[in-house]
Amino acid sequence: MKAVRFNEYGGLDVLKIKDVEAPHAGPGQVRIAVRAAGVNPIDWKLRAGYVHDFMPLTFPAGVGSEAAGIVDEVGAGVTGVAVGDAVFGYGQNTVAEHAVLRAWAHVPDTMPMDVAGGMAVIAETATRILDQVHLKPGETLLIAGAAGGVGTAVIQLARQRGAIVIGTASAPKHAYLRELGAIPTTYEPGLAARVRELAPLGVNAALDLAGAGLIPELIAIVGDPARVVSIADVTAPHHGAAFSARSAEHPEHAFAEVARLYREGAFQLRIEQTFPMEHIARAQEVSAAGRVSGKLVIIMD
Ligand SMILES: NC(=O)c1ccc[n+]([C@@H]2O[C@H](COP(=O)([O-])OP(=O)(O)OC[C@H]3O[C@@H](n4cnc5c(N)ncnc54)[C@H](OP(=O)(O)O)[C@@H]3O)[C@@H](O)[C@H]2O)c1
């Protein structure tokens, strides 16, 4: 099968399309014929070696941690899914013609495959960090960096939990945040004062998705470091806040929940751009520029 591989840390030019052996579904896994695979910032961070200290690669390495496709092998012990089913979920080396998934949910009939391919990472991450700040109905949540993929999911899932959501983004993206149910503000200096005007009764919890050195300010706004979580700033624990990095061992319930909400018209995901596998370098370049609203997705023929 054709798949993306790279043999060393480096720039976009290390990414190659190779003919490789297709993987097989082991116990508890399924294999899919990939239709769409989401592009995430971790893909280019891994390729460039930026996260080598805590996520070292062995070479040749593949690209991609999520995908949607049609099941073509079912591993031992797997129930509730059959060859021919459309599923999306978490896997490894998913930018390939076939990929093995370790956790999945069925794709709703109404969900296009490109949307399904970009759904797993944002669903699991958003669910995990909302659980981690113990968000309750009626509370106010502040999200720094709300217009990207994870922000898109966090806003909608927090609104589903009955929270009021304030999100930061550059001004051109404020209409997008409003569409998702958040009150937008910019991320220029003076955030605390702007947030005080938008939420005179205060903010109960904050999520940092931007990694732009905001942790002390978010703690000051919330007043409790235990209710501030970052997924993008490893220094968060130095200030008493949490850094959340490890994906849930069983993300299936998060996948199934966004699938249910999508079916009911209560969850949306904008796919900003799609790329063929041959344009993987361009896709990572766009992701690394840091301006995506929603998701980028690789589409298989
Ligand atoms: N630890 C984990 O488990 C985990 C899981 C998933 C993702 N992540 C990390 O979390 C971060 C967000 O992921 P993502 O997939 O949502 O990324 P993304 O889709 O690439 O996010 C892009 C968005 O970030 C916004 N942005 C950039 N700089 C900003 C700033 N200084 N303040 C506020 N917003 C800013 C941009 O909005 P503007 O154009 O308006 O600036 C853009 O809409 C990445 O660093 C990613 O690696 C971590």
Q: Where along the chain do its domains lie?
A: 2-119+270-299, 123-243
Distance 290 CA to ligand 1 centre (A): 7
Is the CB–ligand 1 distance for residue 40 below 6 Å?
yes
Pairing outcome for strands 61-62 and 16-19? unpaired
Is the CB–ligand 1 distance for residue 168 below 6 Å?
yes
Is the CB–ligand 1 distance for residue 35 below 6 Å?
no
pTM over 0.95: yes
Q: What digits encode the pLDDT tens for the residues 125-141?
A: 999 999 999 999 999 99
Highest CATH level, class, for 123-243: alpha beta
Is the CB–ligand 1 distance for residue 38 below 6 Å?
no
Q: Which fold has domain 2-119+270-299?
A: Quinone Oxidoreductase; Chain A, domain 1 (3.90.180)
Distance 192 CA to ligand 1 centre (A): 20
Distance 209 CA to ligand 1 centre (A): 5
Query: Is the bond into 237 cis (omega within 30 degrees of 0)?
Result: no
Q: What digits encode the pLDDT tens for the residues 15-71?
A: 999 999 999 999 999 999 999 999 999 999 999 999 999 899 999 999 999 999 999
- Report the C-alpha gap between 91 and 87 in whole angstroms: 12
- Report the C-alpha gap between 165 and 182 in whole angstroms: 5
Distance 147 CA to ligand 1 centre (A): 8
